[in-house]
Every structure is written in structure tokens, then in C-alpha cells.
Amino acid sequence: MTDAVTDAVTGDAGSAAPDPDPLDLLDHTVSALGGTRRDGQRRMADAVARAISSERHLAVQAGTGTGKSLAYLVPSLAHAVESGRRVVVSTATIALQRQLVDRDLPRVVDALAPELGRRPSFAILKGRNNYLCLHRTGGADAPADGDDALLDEAELTRTGAQVARLRDWAQEILESGDGTGDRDSLPRGVSDTAWRQVSVTSRECVGASRCPFGEQCFAEAARAEAAEADVVVTNHALLAIDAMADQSVLPMHDVTVIDEAHELESRITSVATAELTAASLTMLARRCAKAGPDGCADDLEEAADRWATEVEAAVDAGAAREGRWTHVPAALHEILVVIRDALWGTRSKVHGSVPNPAEDPEKAAEVHHCVSSCEELHDTVVRILAASPAGDGGEDSETGEIGETGADARAAAEAATAASTLFGEDVVWLGGDRHRRAVRVAPLSVADLLRTRLFADGTVVLTSATLALGGRFTAMLASWGLSSSRCTTLDVGTPFAAATHGILYMARHLDPPGRDGASPATMDELAQLINAAGGRTLGLFSSRRAAEAAAAEMRTLVPYEILLQGEDTLGSLIDRFRAESETCLFGTLSLWQGVDVPGPSLSLVVMDRIPFPRPDDPLMQARKEAADAAGRSGFMEVSATHAALLMAQGAGRLLRSVDDRGVVAVLDSRIATKRYGSFFRSSMPAFWTTTDGGKVRGALRRLRG
């Protein structure tokens, strides 16, 4: 029954208090938190509330300083309390996740509780491998999984010490009853190798009902807490796993808010990317040999040895090239089929040896881990083989020359079909070097996956400071598989006065950048800018080599300290850059987004060149070619969009508070001389633009005071 009919039947019409207005709730929350009322924030909150009530998707560009987290949290919490239906908030970075859970949500729910009649609840949920597995912390001495064969003695000792510390930590949590087992709450970090010894993926988990530690499981406790919360904060990776899984990983919800939505496509693609290496096959074979019956992994170990030898021989002979494979090389097709069959055969033998979990829970868990790992690598090989058109390489791309029969053939076919259904066409490429060759497989596009698995059910709100590339939402909507008819778009601007507080300097007089690195004229231009700014420079470079070369040169040309990414942890470098006002910080992609340095320590952001994708990036090139083949512009749709997103994010590092002023300098003349330059300029904040270097240096000197 509708609410009106229910009221008429029960006689309650008019007796219930009207739902609180979202804008009134926002104003109340901002006032309670001592904040400033912002028009852009109110416009966004109103749009989010309307999207939720009308069940229509919404994409909102909200610049730095808008206060977008409050703008979506207030209407989301109100909806959850009023409707009894859960809201999921997904972020791309740990930093924002922590900000929401540790700072924003506690303050907002306290402020809203009197207005909503109760205090809304919230919880954080991550992938299972982010939590300690108590079953594994009580297992064999570390390192496990065959890692010891690949580590030198010193690293083996370090890893063992870290695993021992993790086990002590798990015991401390159990004894105190205080702790989540979340890796991010570990007082001192450990290596990925060590963490893998004490965690499991969702596929490896034996399940709470069969695990002797099921009732104490940290991951299950997090899921149970999330199942009772009004708002669940998660990350894009788990959102991807939920979209790809046959069963829901996230608790039931009818609204999803995706913050840092400009990262959504790349994070989903990353989760859907798999790789095959000789090391992974060898490690799995040794693990299975320990867990299963005698000889169960002999075929897999032999296949791993053959793969290591044959892939290198094929590369040396020119029969398999590094980079993208449009079909599986004939020289490697047979061994891939052998690997696929060996993985499934090993899986079947190990699976047949599983003991009764009640009698030997540790052995049962290890068998389960081996089975799931075999299945996962098997599916990866099937995806690689499925990328070979029928007839290329001489064998049937599904069952292979040596053939599979019965259940094995059906399993391979089902896996290939499942991958095709989820991702559509895959892109396969060979990377690495002779010490670690890796065949990777990634979806050409994740738009279909998002359209059918994320946007088909419930309302989705997507927000970021950079969504309207080239001044339009078209590129982002296309990457998500959304059309403008299904999604409302809104740009609420920024409270920062970009046109009067920022300058975009385009070094038109410089020669276009080449492959041989920056020219002497470019280095001289950079030195003049840094000297005019008095240091205070964030240098954003398109490659590590370019950053290192510029740092080396500037250390001879300017009197200011140059911090270089890679010479210390990124967090420490940013802290020093923020604290030491005449310092410069140079780096690559990690610095283009997420760096927040308000105040006098940053008055100049320099981009060495337009950050187009590398020509040898197999996935980007495949997407570009697919767009061209469909009659669209692959350059604008893929290359220019990729670069515009990075430049918009990079330019956003300049103005981080209402008092900030400064210059964004692009030392790539193409932004001023090429027709596509206007696309990049309109993707960035509306700075005052100039090609006059003298004016820019004068402005920087005045900013120094």
C-alpha cells in the first residue's frame, strides 16, 4: 500500500510529523559543527536528496572547499533513518575513508541525532584480505605459500619476524577484546609478503561455519556490524568485487554514494585484471603438494617449469612479443592449454583429499585455499586463451589440442563464458623482464559491468572535484556506461575564486616536448619560475625519469631544497614540504592527486608536459583503437580524457583554502598551440590565463612578499 492509502486505512493521516527538510538538516549540521554556510554545498545536498527520492542517478562535480562530504552524508543519513534502508558510501583512498569514519561521520551523526529522533549508526567494511585471519595466524611457521623459495635469507628473516609480530598482535586483540584486526589499525606496518601469511581472500576463506575461529573472525565481525549500520563506508575495490560476485558481498542497500568517482573506472579495471607468472604457478604447485595427496601437483610443477622456459624462448626467438597480444602466440598456445589442464587436474586431486573439517580444521582450510587458488589461476588462463580468435595458433581456443573431457571441459567453457559475460572483450599483454615475465589480462571496458551490476539496482550518486572534463560530463558518463537520459549532472562550482586567485601559465615559446627528455630551455624556464616563487613548488612530472632528471638539474640551478619522490616515504616528503615553506617537491603520478598543502608552502604547481598515456600502454592503446574502429575519436575519448583528468587533478593542488593564491605552469606548448589545448584548459579551474612568463614571474615574486 502507498503511504496515503495506509494513512486512510489506519486513520493516521495528518498525525505523523513531516520528514525533515534536507536543507534544514544541512544548515543545522553546519551550524552545530561551527562551519560556514555555502551555496554550492546546499545545492549539492538538495540534488542528492532529490536523486534519492526520485530514484535517479546523479553525478555532481564539487570543487575543493565545497564541503561535499557533508552535502551527501546529511541526506543519506536522513534517508537511512526515515526509510530503514541502508546507504553505502564508497571511496577510492584510505585517507578519505579514514576522514569519513574517524572525523566526519561521528560529528555529523551527533549533530543530526536530535533532529532525526535517534543517532544514526555507521560502520566501515573492507575486503576480507584486509583483516587478520585467526586460522592462518595459528598455522605453520612463516613464510608459507612457497614464498621461501623466492626470498633471500635476509628478507626471509625480516618476513618471519613480521609474521611473528602479527601473530602476537592477533593474540593481544583476542585477550583484550579490543581491536578490529584491520591492517590499517596495525601500529607499525608490515610488508605485503608478511601480511599474505596471516590473511585470506574471500575466495580462499573456508567460511565461518566450517572455520574453528568462525565465531571470533574479524572479517565476519566487520560484516555483522555493517549489516546493522545505517551507513556503510567501503572502497571502490570492494564495490568492484560486489559487482563481480554472484552473491552480494556488501549488505543490502538501495543507495550508493561514490566519492572520488573520477577513480571508479580505473579501480574497477584494476580489480578485474589478472596475471599469470611462472612464480605464481611454482608457489601454488608447492603449496598443493604439501596439502594434497602424493604426486597431486607434479603436472602443475612440470607445467610451471615449461612455462618459464618456453615463454623466454618465444620472446628471444621473436615468436612472442612484449606488449599487447591480439591473439595468443602459436608458440605459447599449447603450453597455456597444458597449464590450464594441470591447474584443473591439480584442483580436482587436492579437492578429493579434503579431510573432515571437524577432525582436522587446519588441513581442511589449507586444502580449501589450494583449491580456490587453482580455480582462480585456471580462470585467468581461460581468459587469456579466450582472447585468441578461433584458429589462431592452430588449436581450438576453448578445449585445446590435447583436449579436456567431461567436467574439465565444461568448467573451462563456463569460466570463459562467465568472464565474457562480465567484462566483454579482454585485452592481453606480456610484460615484465626475463626475471619475472607476466601475462596480464584486463577488460577492454568496464562500462557494461557497471551498467548491469551497479546502476541497474538502486540509486547511485557519483561525486568528485573533477568530473566535467572539457567542461562536460560526457566522457565520465561513457566510462561508467551511463547516458545523460539516466543520470542528472550538476556542477556546483567551488568557493575559491580561481579567476582572481590563480594564474594558468602556458609556456607557448618552448619547443614541444620530445622523447629525449626536457630541453635546456625547459630546464631554464623551470629554474626561473622556482627562483621567482622562492621554492614553494610542487613539480608534477609525467615519468619517474623526468622527475629525477629535473631534480638533479634544479639542485645545481636553484638555492632551494628539492625533495624527490622515492628518496623517502611519500607521507614524510609531503609533511616536510608542508612544514618547510621554501622547499620544492618533485614526483610523478602519486602527487598529481590527493596532495593537500594549503598556505604559503605551495604557490607554484608545475606540469612538465601533457600527461598522455604512454604509447606502449597496452590497455589504453587497445581502448583507443576500439574507439577509432567504432568511428569515434580514440585520441579524444581515451588519450585526451586520461590526460585531462590528471591535469584537472594536478591543477586542483594549487588552491586548497580561500586565502591561497598562486600559479599553475604547464611547460608543454601544445596546451596553447594545439586545437585540443582548449579541452585541457576547460577541464581545469577557471584560472586567469597567460603566455607571458615575465608577468607570471612578477606575480610569484609579489606573492613571496
% residues pLDDT > 70 (the chain): 89
Average pLDDT score over residue span 621-644: 95
Q: Give me the pLDDT at residue 140, please.
A: 39
CA 36/CA 63 separation, integer angstroms: 16
- The one-letter code for the residue type at 63 is G
- The one-letter code for the residue type at 270 is S
Within 10 angstroms of residue 275's Cβ, the number of other Cβ atoms is: 16
Q: Give me the pLDDT at residue 145, please.
A: 45
- pLDDT, tens digit (0-9, with 9 covering 90-100), for 483-500: 889 999 999 999 999 999
Q: Give me the pLDDT at residue 18, please.
A: 59
pLDDT-based confidence at residue 12 (cuts at 50, 70, 90): very low
Average pLDDT score over residue span 355-370: 77
DSSP state of 636: I
Residue 637 has pLDDT above 60, yes or no: yes
pLDDT-based confidence at residue 46 (cuts at 50, 70, 90): very high
CA 204/CA 201 separation, integer angstroms: 5
Within 10 angstroms of residue 513's Cβ, the number of other Cβ atoms is: 19
Query: Residue 325's Cα: distance from chain center in Å?
Result: 25
Residue 610 has pLDDT above 90, yes or no: yes
Let me know how long the chain is: 705
pLDDT-based confidence at residue 150 (cuts at 50, 70, 90): very low
Please report, for residues 30, 96, 100, 121, 398, the alpha-carbon distance to residue 107 in angstroms, rounded to integers and kept in the order given: 10, 15, 10, 12, 56
Cell of 608: 612538465
Strands 274-277 and 438-443: what pairing? antiparallel
Please report, for residues 18, 147, 406, the alpha-carbon distance to residue 409 in angstroms, rounded to integers and kept in the order given: 61, 31, 6
Q: Cis ω on the peptide bond leading into residue 143 (within 30° of 0)?
A: yes
Q: Which residues pair with 564 in a beta bridge?
A: 586
CA 597/CA 650 separation, integer angstroms: 12
Report DSSP letters for 140-209, one per residue.
Answer: SSSS-TTGGGGS-HHHHHHHHHHHHHHHHHHHHHHHHT----BGGG-SS---HHHHHTT---TTT---TT
Q: CA-based diameter of the chain, in Å?
A: 84
Q: Residue 444: which residues within 8 A CB-CB, separation 6 or more?
A: 423, 424, 425, 426, 427, 619, 622, 623, 626
- 466 or 138, which is more confident: 466
Helix axes 361-386 and 406-423, enclosed angle (nearest 10): 70
Residue 16 has pLDDT above 70, yes or no: no
Total-model pTM: 0.87
CA 538/CA 85 separation, integer angstroms: 44
Exposed, middle or buried: residue 423 (CB in 10 Å: 0-12, 13-18, 19+)? buried
Within 10 angstroms of residue 491's Cβ, the number of other Cβ atoms is: 18
What strands lie across the sheet with 502-506, from one edge to the other?
562-564, 584-587, 537-540, 604-607, 662-666, 502-506, 688-690
Q: Give me the pLDDT at residue 403, please.
A: 42
Within 10 angstroms of residue 31's Cβ, the number of other Cβ atoms is: 12
Residue 437 has pLDDT above 80, yes or no: yes
Average pLDDT score over residue span 633-654: 96
Least confident of 172-176, 406-410, 512-516, 696-700: 406-410
Please report, for residues 551, 565, 566, 662, the alpha-carbon distance to residue 544 in angstroms, rounded to integers and kept in the order given: 11, 9, 9, 25
pLDDT-based confidence at residue 8 (cuts at 50, 70, 90): very low
Residue 206 has pLDDT above 90, yes or no: no
Contact 29, 67 (CB under 8 A): no
CA 400/CA 381 separation, integer angstroms: 12
- 624 or 94, which is more confident: 624
Q: Give me the pLDDT at residue 273, please.
A: 94
Q: Give me the pLDDT at residue 409, please.
A: 47
User: What are the helix and strand counts (H, E) for the chain?
Assistant: 30, 18
Least confident of 158-172, 346-360, 513-527, 688-702: 346-360
- Residue 472's SS3 state is strand
- pLDDT, tens digit (0-9, with 9 covering 90-100), for 501-547: 999 999 999 999 988 889 999 999 999 999 999 999 999 999 999 99
% residues pLDDT > 90 (the chain): 67
Q: Give me the pLDDT at residue 45, please.
A: 96
For 487-601, strand residue ranges (E) read 487-493, 502-506, 537-540, 562-564, 584-587
Q: Give me the pLDDT at residue 316, please.
A: 92
- Residue 229's SS3 state is coil
